Amino acid sequence: MFLDASGLMVYYENMLALNNVGIKAEDGSVIGVFGSNSAGKSTLMYMLSGILLDIKKKEEMRGGERITLLGKITLDGEEITSLPPHERAARGIVLCPERRRIFGESSVIENLRIGSYLAPRKDRAGDIEYVFRIFPRLKDHIHRQGGFLSGGEQQMLAIGRALMAHPKILLLDEPLLGLSPAYQKIVIDSIREIRAARGITIIIAEQYARPVIPVIDRGYIIENGSAILEGTKEELMGNPDVKSAYFGV
Amino acid sequence: MSDGRDRKERIDRGIKVRSDGLYAVSSLREMLYLSGPRILLIAGLLLLPLLLDPFPYWKRVVNILCVYALLAIAFDFLANCVGLVCLGGSMFIGLGGYFAAVFNVHLHLPIYLSIPAAALAGAVIATLLILPCLSLRGVYFAIVTLMYPLLFTRVIEAFDLLGGSNGITGLDSFPGTNLENYSILLILLAVLFGLRRVLNDDIGLVMHAVKDNDQSVRASGIDVVGIKALAVFIASFIGCLGGAYLAHVYMWAGLSLFALDFSIIPIAAVTIGGGGVLFGAVVGCLILVPLSEFLRFFGTFRIVLYCTVLTAFIVLKSEGLMPYCTRKYEQFERWADA
């Protein structure tokens, strides 16, 4: 599936969070979005998944901040700009949110079953098998409550839960947040595996580019809400400014 | 999302920005802007009894209104500033009322002593009763506070305590209607502004933090249960003050002091007026209590109208009147290019 977002602008009250950002994700590609804290990565992810529409509505009812959303998002040529998040999920755009947001009171298996709500029932057993194959650790804790898993296991569970929904475009918001290098490797390997096995388009937002860069095809650098650089993996790695800021070289 | 590349932006009014700082004292207009709403509220409340002088019935409604406003402030304080949803406003009214009756009728305390003493005693008892469930999070507090008034009613009825279902009669009344009016109005204003000051103080910040994340508060070395108990004590003191006053106005303390109305109307008032700002509770009462008096004409059907108004408010303006008006007062909107 081809996701094309252009001219995205997001205002939280009078603060500009995203400034004219455009992002394209071709079928089956892995896209990296890099930026520091408060660059606008999460806002971009919320925008693509439609969660921001929901946040906007809640803020309006509460009388809180006014959120202004501008821009256009199309999926395979069909405009989905004002489509609510659950309908976007039904079309295959699935968000694996920052800080996991797993269901802490449900067990591992229940979390996965909740994730498969939209997918055909007959695929469920096979999908769960698949998740356990790429994340064998989850199988050891199959009946443990999500809230009692370690941070790394929770991240695996969050990715697994997103996979259960049969995503065509998987949005991973800071999947490596707070993970040890060993766990980072497991997650990155899983991304490689998911892409190879299922041909899912994946968009990864991260602060630190180095662990992610081997698996991506193209990347965007976001700073202060603007996409300041866009290019292939090689182009980004060749850029000295990017190197020092996001690779720690 | 709109296709036009423009958006509505909210900008602070110039006078708001100017009067935020020290410049406020430089001009009369800015000072008036700052103090205007407060003066309006204070003057409005204090003038009410004078304006309603030809209507003795409505003067009594003002008294009831103030008692409800006290309860609404207590509810708002507990729910939105400490995070404890209290469904037991009638418990405070009942405890305060019965204590006032005991102090006044049995112990022969004069009215100006029995009301504060009853408020204090009621607050202590209420805090002790609620204390066991303060260390729990979740709905337990709400359930317990909802149950106590029912429990008191049945116990008083079953054991024929404190006059049983007849209640205690023969409380002293206020020496004059003006004193009756103004004492509760002044109490209301003192509670309102006093509590606001408490909330802006350090202890208020800690209470707000307890609502936000009690584990972090514990990690900061603060006794969460103690803070909650203090908040419950303050709120129940305010509620019991209203109850004691009410018993003296009725010259009677009976089971109807534990009526569900005292629990529900304050919550409704906070919903309409807006939570978190104590003024909202008063504004909500100023609307709801007279409304419910007007609706008395419809008999029990008024509950239907009441619920409709409430639901409409939640659906259409869930922020409440007060936050909405504050925003309009402080900010204006204009179209801007995105």
Nearby residues of B266 by Cβ (< 8 Å), 6 or more positions away: B68, B71, B72, B74, B75, B89, B281, B285
DSSP annotation of B38 reads H
Are the C-beta atoms of residues B95 and B243 closer than 8 Å to each other?
yes
Higher pLDDT, A96 or B3: A96
- Residue A249: per-residue pLDDT: 63
| DSSP percent split of chain A into helix, strand, coil, nearest 5 | 45, 25, 30
Is A69 in the B-facing interface, judged by CB distances under 8 Å?
Answer: yes
- Residue B1: per-residue pLDDT: 45
Alpha-carbon gap: A192 to the closest alpha carbon of chain B (Å): 35
Are the C-beta atoms of residues B239 and B92 closer than 8 Å to each other?
yes
State whether A63 and B327 contact (CB < 8 Å). Answer: yes
Side-chain-facing half-sphere of B118: CA atoms under 13 Å = 35
Are the C-beta atoms of residues A191 and A155 closer than 8 Å to each other?
no
Alpha-carbon gap: B280 to the closest alpha carbon of chain A (Å): 14
Is B10 in the A-facing interface, judged by CB distances under 8 Å?
Answer: yes
Is A193 in the B-facing interface, judged by CB distances under 8 Å?
Answer: no
What SS3 state is found at B303?
helix
CA dist B119 and B116 (Å) reads: 5
pLDDT digits (tens, 9 = 90+) for B218-253: 899 999 999 999 999 999 999 999 999 999 988 888
Q: Which CATH architecture has domain B37-337?
A: Orthogonal Bundle (1.10)
CA dist A71 and A47 (Å) reads: 10
Residues, chain B: 338
Query: Whose structure tokens read 């990347």?
Result: A219
ipTM: 0.79
Alpha-carbon gap: A13 to the closest alpha carbon of chain B (Å): 7
Is A15 in the B-facing interface, judged by CB distances under 8 Å?
Answer: no
Query: Residue B128 corresponds to which tokens in the numbers above?
Result: 């002790």
| Residues of chain B positioned with their CB less than 8 A from the CB of A53 | 1
State whether B338 and A68 contact (CB < 8 Å). Answer: yes
Higher pLDDT, B189 or B314: B189
Are the C-beta atoms of residues B261 and B267 closer than 8 Å to each other?
no
Is A71 in the B-facing interface, judged by CB distances under 8 Å?
Answer: yes
Alpha-carbon gap: B68 to the closest alpha carbon of chain A (Å): 25
Closest alpha carbon within chain A to B334: A14
State whether A9 and B323 contact (CB < 8 Å). Answer: no
Query: Whose structure tokens read 């898993």?
Result: A149
Enumerate the β-bridge partners of residue A37: none
Is A87 in the B-facing interface, judged by CB distances under 8 Å?
Answer: no
DSSP annotation of A144 reads S
Closest alpha carbon within chain A to B5: A70
CB neighbour class for B248 (10 Å; exposed up to 12, middle 13-18, buried from 19): buried
- Residue A218: per-residue pLDDT: 93
pLDDT above 50 (res B319): yes
pLDDT digits (tens, 9 = 90+) for B77-100: 999 888 888 888 899 999 999 999
Of B3, B5, B10, nearest to A66 by CB-CB distance is: B10
At residue B4 the predicted structure's pLDDT band, cuts being 50, 70 and 90, is low
Q: For A34, phi and psi rounded to 5 degrees?
A: -115, 140
Identify from A19, A68, A88, A105 which residue to disrupt to test chain B contact, counting B C-beta atoms within 10 A and taking the largest count. A68
Is A229 in the B-facing interface, judged by CB distances under 8 Å?
Answer: no
pLDDT above 60 (res A85): yes
State whether B1 and A63 contact (CB < 8 Å). Answer: no
Identify from A12, A16, A57, A61 which residue to disrupt to test chain B contact, counting B C-beta atoms within 10 A and taking the largest count. A61
pLDDT above 70 (res B265): yes
Average pLDDT, chain A: 91
State whether A81 and B1 contact (CB < 8 Å). Answer: yes
Relative to beta strand B331-337, strand A218-223 is unpaired
Among candidates A3, A48, A44, which has minimal Cα distance to A27?
A3
Q: What percent of chain B has pLDDT over 90?
A: 29
Are the C-beta atoms of residues A33 and A204 closer than 8 Å to each other?
yes
Average pLDDT, chain B: 87
pLDDT above 90 (res B305): no
CA dist A33 and B37 (Å) reads: 49
State whether B338 and A69 contact (CB < 8 Å). Answer: no
Of A53, A62, A82, nearest to B318 by CB-CB distance is: A62
Enumerate the β-bridge partners of residue A20: none
- Residue B2: per-residue pLDDT: 45
Of A61, A66, A71, nearest to B318 by CB-CB distance is: A61
pLDDT digits (tens, 9 = 90+) for A10-64: 999 889 999 999 999 998 899 999 998 889 999 999 999 999 999 999 888 887 8
Relative to beta strand A218-223, strand A226-232 is antiparallel
State whether A70 and B7 contact (CB < 8 Å). Answer: yes
Closest alpha carbon within chain A to B271: A62
Query: Whose structure tokens read 């709801």?
Result: B288
Closest alpha carbon within chain B to A82: B1
Chain-centre distance for alpha carbon B80: 12
CA dist B9 and B334 (Å) reads: 6
Are the C-beta atoms of residues A31 and B295 closer than 8 Å to each other?
no
Closest alpha carbon within chain A to B338: A9
CA dist A71 and A9 (Å) reads: 6
pLDDT digits (tens, 9 = 90+) for A152-208: 999 999 999 999 999 999 999 999 988 999 999 999 999 999 999 888 999 999 998
- Residue A215: per-residue pLDDT: 92
| Residues of chain A positioned with their CB less than 8 A from the CB of B323 | 63
| Residues of chain A positioned with their CB less than 8 A from the CB of B318 | 61-63
Alpha-carbon gap: A243 to the closest alpha carbon of chain B (Å): 32
pLDDT digits (tens, 9 = 90+) for A145-166: 999 999 999 999 999 999 999 9
pLDDT above 70 (res B292): yes
pLDDT digits (tens, 9 = 90+) for B114-159: 999 999 999 999 999 999 888 877 788 888 888 898 899 889 888 8
